[in-house]
């Protein structure tokens, strides 16, 4: 880790910290990028060197987490039951320890711009999940659709659980795992895996 890299990460961290604080204290729309930059002691232009949009500053660890997710998925040994492995990997990735993360999801239920950003981040997880499912099931038009549907549905459950965590403090891991298993448990998994063989019938 260079001194340069350390300084860059520190700037980024400071920006994200002040952004979330300002969003929480005075509202998202009432906070300008100029204010965030000033609070972090940098120029407004610098903000956009670290985050592509104002709302992205509320999800500073997004890229890292997606990569973690991809890595954990890939290193999975349980290739016999891809859906189950996917569910577990998603749930393990839920971090309910950081208070900053909690603040983020509390904001999420009231700020549309942050909901947009959240949907955007969900799309990245979804892409990884879809790639994994296609790799597991084999490619095909119909399989591709099912992979997207399953990934979308899973992310929907995760999102609802995280918002409930922010709003009501409900432990997302427990309830997520239960609901995902109910939706994608054994009665769902077997027929889906059998799709490998009949992809030619679709389209």
Partner DNA sequence: CATGTCGATGCACTGAGTGCAGTTAATACG
Partner DNA sequence: CGTATTAACTGCACTCAGTGCATCGACATG
Q: Which residues here bind DNA, judged by CB under 7 A?
A: 2-5, 7-8, 11, 31-34, 41-43, 45-46, 48-50, 52-55
Q: How far is the CB of 58 from DNA (least distance, A)?
A: 11
103 binds, among a second copy, DNA, none (CB under 5 to 8 A by kind): none
**Which listed option, DNA, a second copy, none, makes contact with residue 21 (CB within 5 to 8 Å by class)?**
none
Interface pattern 92-121 for a second copy (x via CB under 8 A): --------------------x--xx--xx-
Binding mask 148-177 toward a second copy (x if CB under 8 A, else -) reads xx-xxxxxxx-xxx-xx---xxx----x--
Q: How far is the CB of 144 from a second copy (least distance, A)?
A: 7
HEC assignment per residue over the chain: CCHHHHHHHHHHHHHHHHHHHHHHHHCCCCCCHHHHHHHHCCCHHHHHHHCCCCHHHHCCCHHHHHHHHHHHHHCCCCCCCHHHHHHHHHHHCCCCCCHHHHHHHHHHCCCHHHHHHHHHHHHHHHHHHHHHHHHHHCCCHHHHHHHHHHHHHHHHHHHHHHHHHHHHCCCHHHHHHHHHHHHHCHHHHHHHHHHHHHHHHCC
Q: Which does 92 bind (CB under 5 to 8 A by kind): a second copy, DNA, none?
A: none
The contact set with a second copy (CB under 8 A) reads: 112, 115-116, 119-120, 123, 141-142, 144-146, 148-149, 151-157, 159-161, 163-164, 168-170, 175, 179, 182-184, 187-188, 191, 202-203
């Amino acid at each position: 880790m260079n001194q340069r890299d350390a300084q860059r990460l520190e700037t980024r961290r400071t920006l994200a910290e002040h952004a979330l604080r300002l969003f929480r204290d005075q509202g998202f729309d009432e906070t300008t990028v100029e204010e965030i930059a000033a609070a972090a002691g940098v120029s407004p232009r610098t903000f956009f060197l670290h985050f592509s949009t104002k709302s992205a500053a509320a999800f500073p660890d997004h890229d890292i987490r997606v990569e973690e997710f991809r890595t954990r998925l890939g290193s999975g040994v349980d290739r016999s039951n891809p859906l189950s492995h996917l569910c577990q990997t998603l749930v393990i990735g839920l971090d309910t320890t950081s208070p900053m993360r909690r603040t983020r999801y509390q904001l999420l239920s009231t700020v549309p711009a942050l909901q947009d950003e959240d949907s955007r981040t969900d799309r990245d997880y979804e892409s990884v999940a879809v790639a994994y499912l296609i790799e597991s099931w084999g490619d095909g038009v119909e399989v591709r659709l099912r992979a997207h549907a399953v990934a979308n549905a899973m992310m929907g459950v995760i999102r609802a659980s995280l918002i409930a965590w922010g709003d009501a403090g409900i432990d997302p891991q427990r309830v997520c795992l239960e609901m995902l298993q109910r939706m994608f448990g054994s009665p769902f998994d077997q027929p889906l895996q059998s799709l490998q063989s009949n992809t030619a019938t679709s389209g």
